[in-house]
Amino acid sequence: MARSERERTIVKAQEKRKDEKRMSEVSERERSITVAQEVVFDAALIRRFDVTGPRYTSYPTADRFTEAFGPEAYAQALAARAGVERPLSLYVHVPFCETVCYYCACNRMVTKDRSRAQRYVAALEKELGLVDRWLRGNRRVVQIHFGGGTPTFLSEEELRQVWDAIGRFFEVTEEGEFSIEVDPRRVSAATVYALREMGFNRMSIGVQDFDPVVQAAVNRVQPIEVTEEVLRAARAAGFVSVSFDLIYGLPHQNVTRFAQTLAEVVRLKPDRVSVFNYAHLPERFPAQRRIDATALPSAAEKLAILQMTVEQLTAAGYVYVGMDHFARPDDELAVAQRARRLHRNFQGYSTYAGCDLIGVGISAIGQVGPFYAQNQKGEEPYFAALARGELPTLRGVALGNDDLIRREVIQALMCHFTVRFAEVEEAFGVVFTDYFAPELAALEEMAAVGLVAVDEEEVRVLPKGRLLVRVVAMVFDRYLRTEEGEIRRYSRVI
């Protein structure tokens, strides 16, 4: 039956409204990406404000942990979780590597002796059992991360053994986020499938740089085909998200060479890209003494590499999530940031806020309620503690109320680039502008040049300040004050 003129008009109006709604949703989405995740590179401001400082994977930072907080304190912290409905995130540290990468600052042991892995797996099982004995709270695990070192130093069978132990002591949710760091030089496509079959569904692949000259200079020769094979296998096996880790500031890098690496990265389209700044500290990390310091890029070259990186990745459609991390706009990290669900912990950014973090293995760090605890960093003290039936805790810290407030503020800056005063006031019963009066005064210099905007409701890190978010966070770090309580000034990085 033919439609009347009136009906046609109504249908047309409905379609027009639908189109307008669709358009407004698209522009709302684009606007939220632009507003929340835009980043602007301003070399002069980076030169002026960038200083050495923490990466804020915790607050207080790990250098504030003390040995006064030992195994007993951690056991009590675990027991105190009785009745607390917080899901768990589990970190498993595997410290072994077959060869050393000269830039490495991780806690790792270089060995080709595979028999050490079996002893270690038995120790991990024992540690999980001890955590189980003390933990009086929720056992639902929504996130697992295997990091290192090289987690795949463990054989498939050994990795399975650890998974089985986790399954015995905890309740692992099916739809959780289970990630593993992979060194493509040490895994085959078959291993990638085995990892997926075990339950891993996220992977981060160590790349650093595709340039063979740079690779040779840092003792990490990894032909691009090797990385591509692992990436292809991860996709075919059904890994939900694959991330590449890169480093800038390595010997022989310059803008032209690193641009080629980035062009390959863009071609391979990982879901996330981390680009870390290499800090040459040979007096602290002995392996770095093998790096030819004369081949390191100058500060100006490093800055130019960073600028090109930001431009190339954003032009390719990645958004800047924060602190060295880029992600495709539809990747869960980018989505979580727009939804203000992003969280930062010892593994970097995470989509799960509000978890207790249990760390097992040598040097692993946990965060349980208002406590941080770090395990022994050496093999022998770690094994000895477990042999005594003790948690292998080396050090930790119990957070006071001021720490908790500042942790919340620093988390909000690092994850959302915004601190809303009302949220802090509601959670902690303080008047933000009174409590943080010196900090707000200290931000005035940054506000004057457009790094941050401060009004009566919030502090916002503006696009020009986002590469410097750590420096904004440092303003709120009480431990960086002088003894007189003043906000300390730090030497510039560049």
Residues that bind ligand SF4 (CB under 6 A): 97, 100-101, 104, 106, 108, 148-150, 183, 206
Q: Which helix (H) or strand (E) holds 67?
A: none
Query: Between 206 and 463, whose beta carbon lies closer to ligand SF4?
Result: 206
Q: Distance between CA atoms of 401 and 433, rounded to whole angstroms? A: 17
- Distance linking the first and last C-alpha atoms of the chain: 75
CB 183, min distance to ligand SF4, A:
5
| Nearest by Cα to 334 from 322, 347, 324 | 322
CB environment 5-44: b (16+ within 10 A), e (fewer): eeeeeeeeeeeeeeeeeeeeeeeeeeeeeeebbebebbee
Query: Between 32 and 111, whose beta carbon lies closer to ligand SF4?
Result: 111
Q: Distance between CA atoms of 476 and 466, rounded to whole angstroms? A: 16
CB 101, min distance to ligand SF4, A:
3
CA distances to 82, 137, 356 from 369, rounded to whole Å, are: 11, 11, 6
CB 106, min distance to ligand SF4, A:
4
The strand ranges marked E within 44-139 are 88-94, 96-97, 109-110
Query: Between 137 and 184, whose beta carbon lies closer to ligand SF4?
Result: 184
CA 145 to chain centre: 11
Query: Between 85 and 113, whose beta carbon lies closer to ligand SF4?
Result: 113
CB 286, min distance to ligand SF4, A:
12
CB 113, min distance to ligand SF4, A:
15
Q: Which helix (H) or strand (E) holds 316?
A: none
The amino acid present at 472, given as its one-letter code, is V
CB 328, min distance to ligand SF4, A:
25
